[in-house]
């Protein structure tokens, strides 16, 4: 069974204090890894797609990287508005159909 | 606003009642997904459609759940004989076939079963 594990479950940072969130996965036939941001009471907002080991994507203060077993979401000099839950998801093919499995997320709080 | 919309945003019902939710995807998206999310958890896949065809259903989707996407446009998710364990956020997402992983989510419908 596909498994996605995110760590830490919660992270509290001072404004400007850079850090990384981890997403490790155990799947067969990875067809993409995705990062989403979710604010309380709202649906997830798409951030990045990564398809192959060594791939990197950047958007403002966020940078996502992918290895064969895990992905990191690096946050550089975070601001309070970066506070949210960050979700990792993997897409696999199962029985000819796609399947998307989400982790439970990392709840990030950035303190001014 | 051309994003994914869901209606209603909140629904409170009594145990045993039937409820129906609607999702309007982004107009050019041919894939539509339903997820369920409980507090502190990531979204759990329920089912997805390619145009009007329902291609896969999770084992989480019991016989009390049914989803439709007539004409390949909007979709409805019905829950019959609701139970307290059905209380959750129901999320809809859509994507373009060629970019299946880049799903765009709606705001969700928060269901509370009393």
pLDDT digit string, tens, across residues A72-88: 999 999 999 999 999 99
Q: What is the rounded distance in angstroms from the CA atom of residue A109 to the CA atom of residue B41?
A: 17
User: Which residues are within 8 A (CB) of B21 and not within 5 positions of it... i.e. 6 or more apart?
Assistant: B6, B7, B8, B11, B76, B77, B78, B90, B92, B109, B111
Give the pLDDT score at B98. Answer: 60
User: Which residues are within 8 A (CB) of B53 and not within 5 positions of it... i.e. 6 or more apart?
Assistant: none
The answer to whether the Cβ–Cβ distance between B43 and A104 falls below 8 Å is no
Q: Cβ contacts (< 8 Å) between B93 and chain A: which residues?
A: 43
Closest chain A CA to residue B91: A43
Closest chain B CA to residue A6: B42
pLDDT more than 70, % of chain A:
100
As a whole number, the mean pLDDT across chain A is: 93
CA distances to A111, B23, B81, B83 from B9, rounded to whole Å, are: 30, 11, 20, 19
Q: Is B54 left (phi over 0), alpha (psi -120 to 50) or beta?
A: beta
Residue A58 confidence (pLDDT) above 80: yes
Counting one residue from chain A and one from chain B, the pairs whose CB atoms sit within 8 A come to: 58
Containing B19, the helix (H) or strand (E) segment is: strand B19-24
Give the pLDDT score at A29. Answer: 81
Strand positions, DSSP E, B25-64: 31-37, 44-50, 53-57
């Amino acid at each position: 069974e596909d498994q996605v594990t995110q760590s830490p479950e919660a992270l509290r940072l001072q404004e400007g204090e850079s850090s990384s969130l981890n997403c490790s996965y155990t799947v067969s036939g990875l067809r993409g890894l995705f990062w989403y941001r979710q604010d309380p009471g709202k649906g997830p907002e798409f951030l990045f797609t990564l398809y192959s080991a060594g791939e990197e994507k950047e958007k403002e203060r966020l940078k996502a990287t992918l290895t064969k077993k895990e992905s990191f979401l690096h946050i550089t000099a975070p601001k309070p508005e970066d506070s949210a839950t960050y979700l990792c998801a993997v897409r696999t093919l199962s029985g000819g159909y796609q399947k998307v499995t989400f982790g439970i997320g990392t709840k990030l709080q950035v303190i001014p | 606003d051309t994003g994914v919309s869901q209606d209603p945003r909140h629904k409170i019902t009594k145990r045993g009642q039937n409820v129906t939710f609607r999702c309007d995807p982004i107009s050019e998206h041919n894939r539509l997904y339903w997820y369920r999310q409980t507090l502190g958890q990531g979204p759990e896949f329920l089912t997805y459609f390619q145009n009007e065809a329902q291609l896969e259903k999770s084992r989480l989707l019991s016989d009390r759940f049914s989803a439709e996407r007539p004409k390949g446009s909007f979709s409805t998710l019905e829950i019959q004989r609701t139970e307290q364990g059905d209380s959750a956020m129901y999320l809809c997402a859509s994507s373009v076939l060629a970019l299946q992983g880049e799903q765009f989510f709606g705001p969700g419908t928060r269901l509370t079963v009393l």
